[in-house]
């Protein structure tokens, strides 16, 4: 079943987009949904640079929507009716890299039985999007640079020069300047790609976007799973807004799919239906004594079964692990030291409680 909002009568998201032409335009063009000033500013940058052929380098944490932004640039450009070819560079190296980008002629190597076009050729005069560009091995970076400089390439086993006309948009969650300094990324290639740098903010830096994104994803998955009336309660929205979101928009989207599948009844989704670790992280489910003193205790006004010893131990252990992980700067090794246990024991406890840190 399609997850395209236009499959549901063209409705995007209730009232949130109606008063914001920029957000509505971005949603129609590439599926980007926002309310924050930070994303409005980036949308205006996209409009400004989309008509250029200059390479664009998108940076930001994993899950911030770099491919969606690349598609927005493509859709806004005069190349919009031409191919958009995404390539994940993190899974390519050596001959696999060369074959993926250059393609091959029949007989170029064992098993090459027919002509195969590569990404350079498939992109034609559209947009070639390279995700995880920092993962291109050094040995292959020089080949890529040569194509950018000469704007021609040959298929593997071929003799004919083919023209490269596509616009290049790249993305990475790594620091390419640091990689240049350490010798893991060519400086000349970096300067070629970094003509128009655009840094996408993390979801926690654009917290105004969390409620409309959460509502949109829940609405979308609600239609997908034939549950169109799903909605979030105010406490649930507040909890989502306060969460740190290390996985950014991707994490939020996955959570809303989980909620859409597991929510029962017609009432709004309650905060208690969100992951326990999220509630513990924000102190929403800690017994009173733990919140105040960091000690295991029981809040008589807490949830049903609050006096159950196993439940108290579970909540205390989870709270201690999350607190230590945060105090340790998100280092599991240091967190284990703070807890007075071995890293192996910490891994076992995390698995036991289904926590992913």
Structural domains in the chain plus CATH codes = 37-200 (3.40.50.300), 283-357 (1.10.10.60)
The mean pLDDT of the chain is 84
Per-residue pLDDT tens digits for 273-312: 888 778 776 665 544 444 444 443 334 444 444 556 666 7
Euclidean distance between CA atoms 66 and 102, whole angstroms: 24
Q: Rounded to the nearest 5 degrees, what angle is found at the Cα of 98, between the Cα atoms of 95 and 102? A: 145
CA 205, 207, 15, 256 torsion-angle sign: positive
Give the pairing type, strands 127-131 and 103-104: unpaired
- Cβ-count burial of 219 within 10 angstroms (0-12 exposed, 13-18 middle, 19+ buried)? buried
Give the pLDDT of the chain (357 residues) as one tens digit per residue: 334 443 333 344 444 444 467 777 777 777 788 889 999 999 999 999 999 999 999 999 999 999 999 999 999 999 999 999 999 998 887 788 888 999 998 887 878 888 989 999 999 999 999 999 999 999 899 999 999 999 999 999 988 999 999 999 999 999 999 999 999 999 999 999 999 999 999 999 999 999 999 999 999 999 899 988 899 999 999 999 999 899 999 999 999 999 999 998 889 999 988 887 787 766 655 444 444 444 433 344 444 445 566 667 777 788 888 888 888 888 888 888 888 888 888 888 888 877 777
- Whose tokens are 């926690």? That residue is 204
Euclidean distance between CA atoms 119 and 83, whole angstroms: 10
Euclidean distance between CA atoms 119 and 99, whole angstroms: 9
If residue 31 lies in a helix (H) or strand (E), which one and from where to where? none
Euclidean distance between CA atoms 180 and 186, whole angstroms: 6
The answer to whether 232 and 215 have CB atoms below 8 angstroms apart is yes
Q: In whole angstroms, what separates CA 214 from the centre of its chain?
A: 15
Per-residue pLDDT tens digits for 114-123: 898 999 999 9
pTM: 0.76
If residue 167 lies in a helix (H) or strand (E), which one and from where to where? strand 167-172
CB neighbours of residue 24 within 10 Å: 16
CB neighbours of residue 90 within 10 Å: 13
Tokens read off for 114: 């027919």
DSSP state of 206: G
Euclidean distance between CA atoms 337 and 325, whole angstroms: 10
């Amino acid at each position: 079943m399609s997850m395209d909002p236009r499959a549901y009568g063209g409705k995007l998201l209730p009232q949130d987009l109606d008063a914001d032409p920029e957000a509505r335009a971005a949603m129609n063009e590439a599926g980007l949904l926002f309310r924050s000033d930070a994303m409005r500013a980036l949308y205006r940058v996209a409009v400004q640079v989309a008509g250029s052929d200059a390479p664009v380098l998108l940076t930001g944490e994993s899950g911030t929507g770099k491919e969606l932004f690349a598609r927005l640039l493509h859709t806004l450009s005069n190349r919009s009716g031409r191919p958009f070819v995404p390539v994940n560079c993190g899974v390519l190296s050596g001959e696999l890299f060369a074959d993926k980008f250059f393609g091959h002629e029949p007989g170029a190597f064992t098993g090459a039985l027919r002509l195969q076009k590569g990404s350079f050729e498939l992109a034609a005069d559209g947009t070639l999007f390279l995700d995880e560009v920092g993962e291109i091995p050094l040995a292959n970076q020089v080949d890529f640079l040569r194509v950018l400089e000469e704007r021609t390439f040959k298929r593997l086993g071929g003799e004919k020069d083919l023209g490269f006309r596509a616009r290049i948009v790249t993305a990475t969650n790594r620091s390419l300047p640091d990689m240049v300094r350490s010798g893991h990324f060519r400086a000349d290639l970096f300067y070629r790609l970094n003509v128009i740098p655009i840094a996408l903010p993390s979801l926690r830096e654009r917290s105004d976007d969390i409620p409309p994104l959460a509502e949109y994803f829940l609405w979308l998955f609600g239609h997908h799973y034939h549950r169109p009336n799903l909605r979030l309660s105010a406490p649930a929205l507040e909890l989502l807004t306060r969460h740190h979101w290390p996985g950014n928009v991707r994490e939020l989207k996955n959570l809303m799919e989980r909620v859409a599948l597991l929510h029962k009844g017609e009432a709004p989704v309650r905060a208690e239906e969100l992951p326990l670790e999220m509630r513990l992280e924000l102190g929403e489910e800690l017994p009173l004594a733990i919140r105040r003193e960091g000690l295991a205790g029981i809040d008589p006004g807490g949830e049903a079964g609050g006096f159950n010893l196993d439940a108290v131990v579970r909540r205390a252990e989870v709270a201690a692990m999350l607190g230590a992980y945060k105090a340790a700067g998100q280092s599991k090794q240091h967190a284990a030291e703070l807890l007075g246990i071995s890293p192996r024991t910490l891994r076992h406890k995390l698995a036991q409680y289904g926590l992913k840190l």
